[in-house]
Amino acid sequence: MSYSYFIAYKPYNVLTQFSGDNPAETLQVLDYPFAKDVYPVGRLDKDSEGLLLLTNDRRVNHRMLDPKFSHAREYWAQVEKIPTDAALKHLEKGVQLKDGLTLPAQAHLLAGEPELPPRNPPIRYRANIPTAWLSLTLTEGRNRQVRRMTAAVGFPTLRLVRWRMEILTLAGLKPGQVRVLTPEEILAFKQLLQLKP
């Protein structure tokens, strides 16, 4: 069987599916002639943006979604206020949520606002409340996990972008754009997932 691998930049306010009750709000905004058997690996919430991996390779889907095969996913979160060192350490050690303690993560402040396309609509602006951008790299994928983690340590997320999945990043993509993975990327990605080429 021939497998296809793509990455896409999911825009804000779009559902991670190819069809639904309101087609204008689905991944039909990705103007690309996907084969019928190509689907997103995992999901991003409607109010989150960023990297989606799409494929018809069920082995990749299984390795990426099964909790026993952890993989790094880096999120850039714009949060209310400036996170303290104590808050960042708390995120790294694990945060107690209603569904249990999160696994250790990597967390650090970004050196400024990352070069991302503006969100449409933009986040609310309040002059008396500063914001900051942080990088949070997780190896698990609970529902709305980043938002719940930052809120639990006192710094609610205003904008959330998945920047990276293992070696794959959003670099060079704009919201709604899709590109095919290169043979070199596919090989390296499968090696990371310990899959045969």
**Rounded to whole angstroms, how far apart are CA atoms 10 and 50?**
5
Can you give the length of the chain in residues?
197
Contact by Cβ (8 Å): 110, 134: yes
List the catalytic residues: 45
Contact by Cβ (8 Å): 38, 54: yes
Q: Tokens in use for 39?
A: 């689907």
In sequence order, the 6+-apart residues with CB closer than 8 A to the CB of 176 are 8, 9, 11, 29, 30, 31
In sequence order, the 6+-apart residues with CB closer than 8 A to the CB of 24 are none
